[in-house]
């Protein structure tokens, strides 16, 4: 019989129950297999899914393990609908694979296992960490965050991952460490964008030790309850939901604690447009994009931009003593 067994993770977010959201891919596959005849909603979801253009997870190699179950942390309420799944995985900025938004099929060719993250610099416990070991050791949760690109578009994305502070607790920054530097992997065999030699590769990003320790600073290893696809920075990236998206380095291979303020990829290219702080502010325009409003990818709705992307209650206190600094844009 030609019945394709539905996989639980093919259920669109809008139809997923909270249990499905936390169950994880393998558990759902087993559940769907056991109850295939008794699960009309799952079968219907599969029919719906077949007409979808993008399903990057079917293209991930078998070496990428399922994510463990992740409970959604309801402390962080996005206040708007989650972006339809196909958009965050097919509309991307990842210059290592090219400078247009449609790099997802190219990025999917990047092997993401095995993957080690080197943590070095001013820490008591430097080391190389296997990404799956970290996931097991720290554990993961789900957070739905707003994501705001300086190009004046936004999305709302359910990341699975852990708070950066939990990794810092393991490596123990020394008192002299003032900044954290994030370096994206360089894989010229698959990252065709690296041939564009006028860009200052590798991609570097940075933040202060206080920003790194903030509860919002998150290290996603998953998206929509599934492994983080390479186009979104898989297997391991950073997100600062109150800053413009360019600060959130993807596919990180190295994290360095330092007393020197890192000069980022975008800052090296054009410091007047891409500052170190880059906190979202509707009143400070970028030279090419007004930041007063943003377009939501998926619904195409235009909504007002919020100060700190709406996360001021968590982060405004980080910036009270920095009057001389260009904190926005
Ligand atoms: N290494 C690397 N990280 C990167 C980028 C990049 O080009 N290279 N683009 C940034 C920009 S401009 C944005 S808006 C976000 C986009 O993340 P997404 O594709 O998951 O939405 O990733 C950021 N991280
Ligand atoms: Mo961006």
Is residue 311 in some structural domain? yes
Q: Say yes or no: CB of residue 329 within 6 Å of ligand 1.
A: no
Q: Say yes or no: CB of residue 245 within 6 Å of ligand 1.
A: yes
The whole model's pTM is what? 0.85
Is residue 174 in some structural domain? yes
74 φ, ψ (degrees, to nearest 5): -85, 0
- In this prediction, residue 54 has a pLDDT band, given cuts at 50, 70 and 90, of low
pLDDT tens, position by position, 265-310: 999 999 999 999 999 999 999 999 999 999 999 999 999 999 999 9
Q: Say yes or no: CB of residue 93 within 6 Å of ligand 1.
A: yes
- Per-residue model confidence (pLDDT) at position 26: 42
- Per-residue model confidence (pLDDT) at position 142: 98
Find the ligand nearest to 83 CA. Answer: 1
- Per-residue model confidence (pLDDT) at position 7: 39
Is residue 9 in some structural domain? no
Is residue 10 in some structural domain? no
Helices (H) and strands (E) in the chain, counts: 10, 11
Q: Say yes or no: CB of residue 250 within 6 Å of ligand 1.
A: yes
The CA 164 to ligand 2 mean position distance, Å, reads 21
CATH of the domain at 58: 3.90.420.10
Is residue 224 in some structural domain? yes
pLDDT tens, position by position, 113-150: 999 999 999 999 999 999 999 999 999 999 999 999 99
Q: Say yes or no: CB of residue 240 within 6 Å of ligand 1.
A: no
Q: Say yes or no: CB of residue 203 within 6 Å of ligand 1.
A: yes
Percent of the chain with pLDDT over 90: 81
pLDDT tens, position by position, 40-49: 343 334 333 4
Is residue 20 predicted with pLDDT exceeding 80? Answer: no
Find the ligand nearest to 95 CA. Answer: 1
The CA 52 to ligand 1 mean position distance, Å, reads 24
Both tokens of 141, joined, read 């949760």
Is residue 86 predicted with pLDDT exceeding 70? Answer: yes
Q: Say yes or no: CB of residue 216 within 6 Å of ligand 1.
A: no
The CA 17 to ligand 2 mean position distance, Å, reads 31
Pocket probe for ligand 1: among 94, 193, 288, the residue whose CB has the most ligand atoms within 8 Å is 94
- Per-residue model confidence (pLDDT) at position 323: 85
Domain that holds residue 59: 20-319
Is residue 31 predicted with pLDDT exceeding 60? Answer: no
Task: Please tell me the distance from the alpha carbon of residue 98 to that of residue 185, in angstroms, as a whole number.
Answer: 15
* 272-291 as b/e: b if 16+ CB within 10 A: ebbbbbbbbbbeeebeeeeb
Is residue 325 in some structural domain? no
Is residue 326 in some structural domain? no
Length, in residues, of the chain? 329
- Pairing type for strands 116-121 and 252-258 reads parallel
The CA 319 to ligand 1 mean position distance, Å, reads 24
Is residue 99 in some structural domain? yes
- Per-residue model confidence (pLDDT) at position 53: 56
What average pLDDT does range 63-78 have in this prediction? 96
pLDDT tens, position by position, 161-209: 999 999 999 999 999 999 999 999 999 999 999 999 999 999 999 999 9
Which helix (H) or strand (E) element contains residue 121?
A: strand 116-121
Total domains in the fold of the chain: 1
E strands, 122-236, in order: 127-130, 141-149, 153-163, 179-184, 204-208, 218-223, 226-227
């Amino acid at each position: 019989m030609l019945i394709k067994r539905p996989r639980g993770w093919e259920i669109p977010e809008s139809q997923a129950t909270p249990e499905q959201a936390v169950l994880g891919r393998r558990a759902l596959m087993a559940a769907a297999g056991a109850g295939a005849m008794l699960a009309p909603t799952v079968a219907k979801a599969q029919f719906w899914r077949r007409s979808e253009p993008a399903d990057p997870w079917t293209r991930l190699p078998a070496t990428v393990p399922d994510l463990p179950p992740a409970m959604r942390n309801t402390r962080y309420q996005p206040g708007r609908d989650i972006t339809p799944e196909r958009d965050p995985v097919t509309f991307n900025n990842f210059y290592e694979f090219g400078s247009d938004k449609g790099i997802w099929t190219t990025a999917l060719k990047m092997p993401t296992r095995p993957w080690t993250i080197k943590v070095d610099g001013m820490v008591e416990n430097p080391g190389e960490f296997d990404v799956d070991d970290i996931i097991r050791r720290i554990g993961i949760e789900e957070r739905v965050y707003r994501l705001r690109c300086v190009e004046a578009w936004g999305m709302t994305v359910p990341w699975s991952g852990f708070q950066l502070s939990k990794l810092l607790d393991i490596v123990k920054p020394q008192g002299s460490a003032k900044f954290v530097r994030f370096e994206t992997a360089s894989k010229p065999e698959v990252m065709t964008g690296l041939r564009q030699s006028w860009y200052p590769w590798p991609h570097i990003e940075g933040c202060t030790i206080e920003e790194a320790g903030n509860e919002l600073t998150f290290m996603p290893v998953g998206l929509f309850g599934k492994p983080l696809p390479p186009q979104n920075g898989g297997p391991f990236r950073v997100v600062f939901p109150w800053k413009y998206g360019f600060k959130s380095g993807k596919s990180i291979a190295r994290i360095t604690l330092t007393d020197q303020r890192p000069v980022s990829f975008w800052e090296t290219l054009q410091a007047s447009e891409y500052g170190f702080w880059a906190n979202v502010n509707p009143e400070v325009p970028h030279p090419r994009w007004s930041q007063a409003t943003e377009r939501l990818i998926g619904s195409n709705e235009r909504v007002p931009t919020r100060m700190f992307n709406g996360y001021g209650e968590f982060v405004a206190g980080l910036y009270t003593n920095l009057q001389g600094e260009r904190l926005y844009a």
